[in-house]
Amino acid sequence: MSFGRRRPIRIGLSARIFHPELGASGIRTKTLQVLEQSVAQWVTARDVMVLMIPSVVQDGMLMRSNIRLRDYAEYLDGLLLQGGADVSPKAYGEEPLKPEWSGDPVRDAYEVELLHEFMEAKKPVLGVCRGMQLINVAMGGSLYQDLPTQRPGPVAHESSDYDRNIHPIAFAEGSQLARWYGGAAGGRVISIHHQAVNRLGRDLVVEARAGDDEVIEAVRWQGRSFVYGVQWHPEFHYPSIPDLLDCSAILDAFLTAARS
């Protein structure tokens, strides 16, 4: 029997959802719910237990149990919304400008419910890339469906370099980011996205923007609990890539809120 060991923090990770593919066979005919390994490893670098929260649709083949997403919010200490598919423009009252920008309404509904349950439970939430966009939309904001065509600028927010696509960001004056980083002006981040925040959601404030084109790169909720979103991918800030923003301060702030 072990005495005196502190219980590890339990962080819920939203699922990335892959839907059945038309004309496919085998496992590709099934709905797959997965997590991206590097984001889980980034969080578990601390004394943290990560559990992926599954989505079960009401009209699915399996009967949904009495366990609700609210029960996960009560049991877990925090929520991390990971990246992935576009947020559907229909979630913020627009039609997709192209079919390939239709997003995933199923995942949107699941993650919006998750977000609101954790906020209601006053549990901390951290959104990464799509996760930040989802927070903005859930709070009544909107997105640029495609930055290159709707808001062209000098920064390549998405490129074939994928997890080596680097650009500078500038912290907002008086932001939590500036405090976490001892008054620093900004840093360099790995950013992979073609959508971005357009109209800011209710009670959200801008924490950082892209250094050369002012695209919003971090937001913070001004409400009763920790709700924070970053447009970049802290899990891709490998030690082998020099001069990147050390995102441990963001993770530590999130986990401190979860621990309390």
Radius of gyration, CA atoms only, the chain: 18
Tell me, yes or no, if 233 is annotated catalytic: yes
Q: Of the listed 117, 233, 237, 247, which one is catalytic?
A: 233
Tell me, yes or no, if 116 is annotated catalytic: no
Q: Of the listed 111, 117, 235, 237, which one is catalytic?
A: 235
DSSP, res 177? H
Determine the Cα–Cα distance for residues 35 and 13; give it in Å rounded to an integer.
8
DSSP, res 167? E
- Using an 8 Å Cβ cutoff, are 80 and 33 in contact? no
What beta strand segments (E) does the chain contain?
9-14, 16-18, 32-34, 48-53, 78-81, 125-128, 143-144, 166-171, 186-190, 196-197, 204-210, 216-221, 227-230
- Residue 114: exposed, middle, or buried by beta-carbon count in 10 A (0-12, 13-18, 19+)? buried
Tell me, yes or no, if 247 is annotated catalytic: no
Q: Of the listed 129, 157, 167, 247, which one is catalytic?
A: 129
Q: With b meaning 16 or more CB within 10 Å and e meaning fewer, what string describes 117-152?
A: bbbeeebbbbbbbbbbbbbbbbbebbbbbbbeeeee
Determine the Cα–Cα distance for residues 124 and 220; give it in Å rounded to an integer.
11
Give the type of residue at 72.
Y
Determine the Cα–Cα distance for residues 12 and 38; give it in Å rounded to an integer.
15
**Catalytic site residues?**
129, 233, 235
